[in-house]
Amino acid sequence: MTLPQLFFAYFAVSITGLSLLVVTRKNPVHGVLWMLVLFVHIAMLYLFLNAEFLAAIQIIIYAGAILVLFLFVVMLLNLRVEETERRFQWSWPVGLVAAGGYAVSLIFILVKITVFPQPGHYTIEKMQTEGNLMIIGKVLYTKYLLPFEITSLILLVAIIGAVVLTKKKQE
């Protein structure tokens, strides 16, 4: 096993393990914290792929903003009472069977198939010379300008929604 493979193996195993930890913790705050560790690992995986911009954004947006809001909500709700109720727990065997079935079928398929790796436009050398940030900026604002602008519409709708659903009633 080469060093990159070893790194990848570590991340693959630990990301899977951490995801399991996230969903199995009884205390939701602990679950969210494991998710934080998970996000940091995912960011590392991006770094490993020479996508340092994505790594930074993963931490800033997901770990720094979204997860903090998660934590905020979880702390305010104080879910400790509800976790004992049966109606939140009966469905886990169904989920287990579904997820297990999916995993098994995916493994079977992956074993059978040979993927043809096609070198993409942006090779590692190009990324290193030009810089990930520069490349992403150029691609986003030229080739993918239209999807990028639509994303801004989606965010606008989310803002309108937040305002509509929370503003005080005007009488």
Partner 1 sequence: MDTAILIFKIVMVVSVVLLHVAYVVYFERKVIGHMQARLGPMRVGWHGLLQPIADFIKLFFKEDIIPFSADKPIFFIAPVIGVIAALGSFAVIPLWDGFIIADINIGILFILALSSVGAYSIILAGWASNSKYSFLGGLRSSAQVISYEIAMGLSIVGVIMQSGSASLSDIVNAQADGPFIFTQFIGFFVFLMSALAETNRVPFDMPEAETELVAGYATEYSGMRFGLFFMAEYAGMFVMSSLAAICFFGGWRGPDFWIFSHVPGIFWFLLKVYAVIFFYFWIRATLPRYRYDQLMSLGWKLFIPLALANIVITALWKLL
Partner 2 sequence: MSHLRSMILISPELLLVLTALSLLLLDFLVRRKGTLAVAGAAGIFISAYVNYRLIKVGMTGGTIQGMFAFDGYANFFKLIFYTTLLLTILLSVKYLAIEKISAGEYYSLLIFSTVGMMIMAAATDLLMLYLGLELMALSTYILAGIVRGDRRSNEAALKYFFLGAFSSAFLLYGITLVYGLTGSTNLREIASALHSLKLAESPITMLSLIFFITAFGFKIALAPFHMWAPDVYEGAPTPVTAFMSAGPKAAGFAVMGRVLFDVFGGLQMQWSIILEPLAILTIAVGSIIALSQTNIKRMLAYSSIAHAGYALIGIVIGTPEGFVSTMNYLMIYMIMNMGAFGVVIMLKREGFSGENLEDYAGLAKRHPVASALMLVFMFSLTGIPPTAGFIGKFYIFMEAVYAGHIYLVIIAALFSAVSAFFYLRVVMYMYMKEPAGDISLSTSKTAGIALAFAVIMVLVIGVFPSLLLNFARNSFFG
Q: Site residues (CB under 8 A) for partner 1?
A: 29-30, 33, 36, 52-53, 56-57, 59-60, 63-65, 68-69, 71-72, 75-76, 131-133
Nearer to partner 2, 1 or 109 (CB): 109
What is d(CA 73, CA 68) in angstroms, rounded to the nearest whole number? 9
> What one-character-per-residue DSSP string does 56-112 give?
HHIIIIIIIIIHHHHHHHHHHHTGGGGGG-GGGTTTHHHHHHHHHHHHHHHHHHHHH
Question: 122 with 135: CB under 8 angstroms?
Answer: yes
Pick from partner 2, partner 1, none: which does 164 bind, CB < 5 to 8 A by kind? partner 2
d(CA 67, CA 34): 11
Residues 34 and 18: beta-carbon distance below 8 Å: yes
Q: How far is the CB of 50 from partner 2 (least distance, A)?
A: 17
* Distances, alpha carbon 32 to alpha carbons 7, 44, 90, in Å: 25, 19, 22
Q: Which does 157 bind (CB under 5 to 8 A by kind): partner 1, partner 2, none?
A: partner 2
Q: Which stretch binds partner 2 (CB under 8 A): 29-37, 64-72, 108-116, 124-132?
A: 108-116
Q: Is 161 in the site for partner 2 (CB under 8 A)?
A: yes
Tokens representing residue 157 in the block: 């709708």
Question: In the bound complex, what is the minimum distance in angstroms from residue 98's beta carbon to partner 1?
Answer: 33
**One symbol per residue from 44 to 83: x for binding partner 2 (CB under 8 A), - otherwise; what is it?**
----------------------------------------
- Segment contacting partner 2 by CB under 8 A, of 30-38, 75-83, 129-137, 138-146: 138-146
The encoded tokens of residue 71 equal: 């934590």
- List Cβ<8 Å contacts ≥24 apart for 79-82: 79/28, 80/27
Q: Which residues contact partner 2 (rule: CB under 8 A)?
A: 105-106, 108-109, 112-113, 115-116, 118, 120, 143-144, 146-147, 150-151, 153-154, 156-158, 160-161, 163-165, 169
